[in-house]
Amino acid sequence: MENDELLKAKEKKKRLEGNRFKQQTLPAWRPVPTIVSSMITFLVFGVIFLTFGIVLIEFTKDIVEVEYRYDNNCAVGSSCTHTLNIPEDMEQPIMVYYKIDNFFQNHRRYLKSINYSQLKGQNKGVGSLGSCDPIITNKDLGRSTSYGGTPLDPDAPANPCGLIAKTLFTDTYSISDYSIDETNIAWDSDVDDTFGQPANASNIQWVSSIDEHFIVWMRTAGMPNFRKLWGRIRTDIPKGSIALTVNNNYDVSSFDGKKTFILSTTNAFGGKNYLLAICSLVAGSLCFIFALANYLGSWVLKNNKAANEGNNNLHVD
Amino acid sequence: MANNSELNTRYHQYESPLDLSPSLSLLAERKERKELTDFFKFMTLCHAVMVDKDPATGEILYQSSSPDETALVEGAKEVGIVLKSRTKETMTIEIDGNEEVYDLCIEFPFDSIRKRMSVVIHKNGIYYLLTKGADNIMNPRISWKEDEQEKVDFDLHQFATEGLRTLVMAQKEISKETFEELKGRIDELESSALVNKDEMIFDLYDQYERDLNFIGASAIEDKLQENVAETISVLMEANIRVWVLTGDKQETAIEIAKACQLIQEDMEEEILSIDFDHAKIKEHAILIHDEMNKIYDKYGIKYTVESLDDEKAKQLKKRKRITFNEAKRVISSLSIVIDGPTLGIILGDEDMEFEFFKLAMLARSVICCRVSPKQKASIVRLARYKEKSISLAIGDGANDVPMIMQANIGIGIRGKEGTQAVRASDYAISQFRFLKRLILVHGRYGYRRISSVICYYFYKNILLVFTEIYFAIFCGFSGQIYFADWLPMLYNSLWTSFTCFFAYSLERDVSSKKSERSPHLYSAGQKREYFSYLIFWKWILLSIYHGFIVYFGCTYGFRYIVNLEGHTETLWYVSSTAFTIIIHLVTMKLIIEILFLNWIVIVAGVGSVLLYWVCAIVLNVSFVAQLFQPNLEGIYFRMLSSIPTLLSLFLIPLVALLPDLTLKYFSQLYRPSSSDKEIMKIRETNNLMKGLNSIAPKCRTLGSLYNSEGRF
Do A113 and A132 meet the contact criterion of CB atoms below 8 Å apart? Answer: yes
pLDDT at A266: 84
Mean pLDDT, to the nearest integer, of B498-521? 87
Nearest residue on chain A to B602, alpha-carbon basis: A28
> Do residues A313 and A305 lie in contact, with contact meaning Cβ atoms separated by under 8 Å?
no
CA of B623, closest CA in chain A: separation in Å? 10
Query: CB B156: neighbour CB atoms within 10 A?
Result: 22
Is the CB of B648 less than 8 angstroms away from the CB of A276?
yes
Dist. CA B417–CA B315, nearest whole Å: 46
Residue B683, min C-alpha distance to chain A (Å): 9
CB-count exposure of residue B694 (10 Å: 0-12, 13-18, 19+)? exposed
DSSP assignment of B146-162: TTHHHHHHHHHHHHHHT
Distance, CA of A97 to CA of A67 (rounded, Å): 9
Spatial contact of B595 and B511, defined as CB atoms under 8 Å apart: no
Say yes or no to pLDDT of B711 above 60.
no
Beta strands in B426-522 (DSSP E): 427-429
The reported pLDDT for the residue numbered A312 is 47
Cα–Cα dist B502/B439, whole Å: 22
User: Which of A39, A223, A282, A300 is the best substitution to test chain B (most B C-beta atoms within 10 A)?
Assistant: A223
Name the DSSP class of A222: S
Q: B678: pLDDT confidence band, cut at 50, 70 and 90?
A: confident
> A264 vs B562: CB contact, 8 Å cut-off?
yes
Tell me: is residue B248 an annotated ligand-binding position: yes
Cα–Cα distance for residue pair B203/B194, rounded to 1 Å? 14
Residues of chain A with pLDDT under 50: 312-317
Three-class HEC string of B10-37: CCCCCCCCCCCCCCCCHHHHHHHCHHHH
For chains A and B, CB pairs below 8 A equal 187
Q: Taking 80 as the threshold, does the pLDDT of residue B155 lie above it?
A: yes
Each domain of chain A, given as residue ranges in start order, spans: 34-63+271-299, 64-266
Say if the Cβ atoms of A41 and B665 lie within 8 Å: yes
Q: What is the pLDDT of residues B520-547, one digit of tens each?
A: 888 888 888 889 999 999 999 999 999 9
* Longest Cα separation, chain B: 116
| Residues A273-313 pLDDT 10s | 888 888 899 999 999 999 998 888 888 877 877 776 655 44
Q: What are phi and psi of B308, to 5 degrees?
A: -110, 120
Cα B110 to its chain centre, rounded Å, is 27
The answer to whether the pTM exceeds 0.80 is yes
Which amino acid makes up residue B568? T
Distances (CA, A) of B375 to A202, B113, B343, B678: 92, 11, 8, 40
Please, which pLDDT band fits residue B701 given cuts at 50, 70 and 90?
A: very low
pLDDT of B552 strictly over 50:
yes
* Residue whose C-alpha is closest to residue A75's, from A202, A250, A239, A236: A250
Has residue B370 got a pLDDT over 60?
A: yes
pLDDT at B309 over 70: no
β-bridge mates for residue B409, sequence order: B392
Tell me the three state secondary structure of residue A63.
coil
Contact between B562 and A226 using a beta-carbon 8 Å cutoff: no
Helix axes B533-557, B444-474, angle to 10 degrees: 40
State which amino acid sits at residue B69.
E
Q: Quick check: helix, strand or coil at residue A207?
A: coil
**Beta-bridge partners for B220:** B165
- Count the neighbouring beta carbons within 10 Å of the beta carbon of residue B70: 20
Q: Which residue type, as a one-letter code, is found at position A15?
A: R
Cβ–Cβ < 8 Å for B595, B675: no
Chain CA centroid to CA A232, Å: 20
Contact indicator for B171, B213 with CB cutoff of 8 Å = yes
Q: Are strands B409-413 and B427-429 parallel, antiparallel or unpaired?
A: parallel
Percent of chain B whose pLDDT exceeds 90: 28
Mean pLDDT of the residues in chain B: 83
Question: Chain A interface, mutation test: which of B568, B574, B648, B685, most A Cβ atoms within 10 Å?
Answer: B568
How far, in Å, CA of A232 to CA of A228, rounded? 12
pLDDT computed for residue B71 by the predictor: 86
**Annotated binding residue B417:** no
Q: Which residues of B touch A110 (CB under 8 A)?
A: 478
Of B164 and B320, the one with more pLDDT: B164
B220: left (phi over 0), alpha (psi -120 to 50) or beta: beta
Instruction: Give the 3-state secondary structure of B474-485.
Output: HCCCCCCCCCCC
Question: How much is the pLDDT for B7?
Answer: 34
Half-sphere exposure of A117 (CA within 13 A, CB side): 8
What pLDDT does residue B693 have? 65
Highest mean pLDDT among B41-45, B253-257, B605-609, B684-688: B605-609
Residue B689's Cβ-count burial label (10 Å; 0-12, 13-18, 19+) is exposed
Q: How confident is the model at residue B324 (pLDDT cuts 50, 70, 90)?
A: very low
Report the distance separating Cα B546 and Cα B700, nearest Å.
56
| Total Cβ atoms within 10 A of residue B60 | 16
Confidence of residue B706 (pLDDT cuts 50, 70, 90): very low
Alpha helices in A97-239 (DSSP H): 108-112, 116-120, 138-141, 163-166, 188-189, 201-204, 212-218
CA distance B341 to chain A (A): 47
Parallel, antiparallel, or unpaired for β A94-101 and A258-264? Answer: antiparallel
The SS3 of residue B338 is: strand
Coil, strand or helix: which one is B545?
helix
* B364 marked as binding residue: no
CA distance B34 to B38: 6
Confidence tier at B704 by pLDDT (50, 70, 90) = very low
Per residue, what are the HEC states of B165-218? EEEEEEEEEECHHHHHHHHHHHHHHHHCCCCCHHHHHHHHHHHHCCCEEEEEEE
* Segment (H or E) for B110: strand B98-111
**From CA B648, how far away is CA A24, in angstroms rounded?**
37
pLDDT digits 0-9 by tens, B420-433 = 889 999 999 999 99
Helix (H, G, I), strand (E, B) or coil at A94: strand
| Among the ranges given (B3-17, B296-310, B415-429, B491-505), the one the predictor scored with the smallest mean pLDDT | B3-17
**B396: annotated binding-site residue?**
yes
